[in-house]
Chain A
Amino acid sequence: MNRTKKLLMGVTASALLTGATGEINQAARAMLTVTQTQPDPQVMDAANVIRDLLYKVSEQDALTVNELLAKRPQLKRRNVEKAITWLLDQGDIRKTGDGTQYKPYRYYDRFRGGHGG
């Protein structure tokens, strides 16, 4: 119950202490600057290649990192892994599997489902 309790304490404490405000917290702005660094150009290049490779690839045909690398051996594994993380953050691709040897992560295009909830 710890996370639930902590969240509720935060909600009620803020309501009591701060009152409604539309002002933007400066700490949040600072955090944005730190966390949103743009990937380096090599990673961006890898992301573009992967996006093309996965274009219209369905869940049934989803590809592992190894399969992506086999199709584009010139890419470095490290860049591919970073690019995949970035593409997931952008909402460009989806992931299946649990990362185990038997069900490795596989990646595919989200074109069919779209971006709506």
Chain B
Amino acid sequence: MEHSTSIRDLTSYRSKREYFFEHFGVRWPGTLLDPYDLLEIYPLSTTEISAILRAALAISRIYERIATLLRTVSDDTLLQMGLPARTLALAHLQISGMCDCVIGRLDLARTADGYKLLEFNADTPGMVIESFPINATVCELAGVINPNSEGERALTHALERSISAGLAYVRKKPGQLGKVVFTAHATCERDQDITNYLMGLPELPSSIQKQFVPLEELRADEDGLYDSEGIRIDVLYRFHPLQFFSAKIFKPHHNKPRAMSNGTLLFDLISQRRLAIVNPPAAFLLGNKAMQSVVWGLFERREYFNRNERDLIEQYFLPTYMDPIFNGSYVVKPVYGDEGDSITIRDGNKRVLLRSNNSTYMNQPMVYQKYVELPRVQLMTEDGIETLQILTSCFLINGEPNGICLRAGHGITNFSWWFLPVCIDE
């Protein structure tokens, strides 16, 4: 506790958190684990909200452009970017009518020069529950305006559109029976909260059945992917990173010989149009952090991007390379890390300033990004007032910015950071 907080303030703060948890926590049991996962609501001015949305839109447009280019590169180049070999072919696939990233989230740092992109969580973005239903509930309870109020509608529309594109991709005609499965690990309640929430949003034609099936219950053979009762799945929404889909993730169907022993099953099913997945495979490529070094490198070489795009890159991207070439502080991060795992911050002499405890992804290729300090704000916590760093995120839903999310904490951002609900400052 850095400042003396009156016992009364602290008691009042804790009571409010406990009230919310007691009344609403049960809706999202895997997301809100204790009353103090949330902080007090944080007002954002309309100017600030506009700045975040503008940054997110610009970054989204740059990613659209670079995705077109990256689709043409050789497998050797994709391997240099750190794509696992088993995902190479999937990286080139596009599902017609489906956005490359249906639901993604940009992590941004607010600096003196405006917002800068830290990373793009394009494959399986978390914080969905916190940013949409929880933020809406907090705002409603406080009688303030929720800046993310349009997000749920956008998510619904994006899911309906992507499912429709997925059904068309597997050659389902309108009116034909179809099956859409939403899946996540049975042991991961947090992932299940997100999956179940998203599953509840789209309204599908009566001929299309939707259902949650735990990842562990999915079955497969060379002809398709099936639920636990053996019904063929047409579209799979998966809250499970593509990099972790590999051999033996699916149970065999009817004891048929498994083509999956070599790990190509998911790729084969999608490429043969027997299955569509959301987010689509292209999102996995977009989420690769080496993409940022490609963007920055092309910007520096004045290649590919036009003048206007180069201005946007200079404004919203950070210098990022595949080599540690900085004079000042920089961040070293794995191309496919998550949750602040395997991240190191070093000074210009390569001395370690901060390192995450986890080392799960240390074997991956690393990107090196200019270090920028996150803004610090004094906020009330369950332990009293603390000076915390703030990370800003903005969802991209079908490529459009929608849904702002703030987190606060110390050091490298990970799941232990608090979620900071936001409202519009009137």
Contacts and interface: CB of A to CB of B under 8 A. Distances in A.
Interface of A: 1-4, 6-8, 10-15, 18-25, 27-29, 31-33, 35-38, 44, 55, 59, 88-91, 94-99, 105, 109-117
Interface stretch (B86-94, B164-172, B403-411): B86-94
Contact of B89 (A10, A25, A112): A25
29 contacts: A1-B323, A3-B80, A4-B297, A4-B322, A6-B80, A8-B297, A10-B76, A11-B69, A14-B74, A15-B72, A18-B73, A20-B68, A22-B71, A22-B92, A22-B93, A27-B75, A28-B75, A32-B264, A36-B247, A44-B248, A89-B246, A90-B244, A91-B241, A94-B341, A94-B360, A96-B358, A115-B239, A117-B119, A117-B124
Contacts of B360: 88, 94-95
A115 B191 CA distance: 7
B48 interface: no
B384 interface: no
Given A6-B80, A35-B86, A116-B194, A89 B94 contact: no
Contacts of A2: 323
B105 A117 contact: yes
Contacts of A32: 85-86, 88-89, 262-264, 267
A32 B79 CA distance: 12
A38 B121 CA distance: 29
A32 B89 CA distance: 9
A10 B77 CA distance: 6
B335 to A, nearest CB: 11
A37 B81 CA distance: 23
A21 B92 contact: yes
A1 B247 contact: no
Contact of B414 (A20, A28, A35, A113): A113
Interface stretch (B135-143, B151-159, B180-188, B199-207): B180-188
B240 interface: yes
B303 interface: yes
Interface stretch (B11-19, B54-62, B223-231, B287-295): B287-295
B12 to A, nearest CB: 29
**Main DSSP-derived SS at the B contact region:** loop
B401 to A, nearest CB: 17
A33 to B, nearest CB: 5
Given A32-B264, A117-B338, A4 B323 contact: yes
Contacts of A37: 247, 261-263
Contacts of B325: 1, 4
A101 B219 CA distance: 42
Interface in B233-280: 239-241, 243-244, 246-249, 261-264, 267, 271
B72 A20 contact: yes
Interface residues of B, number: 76
B263 A36 contact: yes
Contacts, number: 195
Given A94-B341, A117-B339, 19 more contacts: A2-B323, A3-B321, A7-B293, A8-B294, A14-B73, A29-B89, A32-B85, A32-B262, A36-B263, A37-B262, A37-B263, A91-B240, A96-B357, A113-B415, A114-B191, A114-B415, A116-B121, A116-B128, A117-B241
Contacts of A44: 248
Given A10-B74, A20-B68, A24-B271, A117 B244 contact: no
Given A7-B322, A8-B297, A94-B341, A115 B244 contact: yes
Contact of A3 (B187, B267, B322): B322
A109 B239 CA distance: 17
A35 B85 contact: yes
A8 B188 contact: no
Interface string B87-127: 01100111000000000010000000000000101011111
Contact of A116 (B70, B75, B92, B338): B338
A24 B124 CA distance: 24
Contacts of B73: 10-11, 14-15, 18
Nearest to A114: B190
A37 B240 CA distance: 21
B287 A1 contact: no
A115 B240 contact: yes
B339 A8 contact: no
A111 to B, nearest CB: 6
Contacts of A110: 188
A36 B339 CA distance: 26
Given A14-B77, A32-B267, A113 B339 contact: yes
Given A3-B80, A35-B85, A97-B359, A11 B294 contact: yes
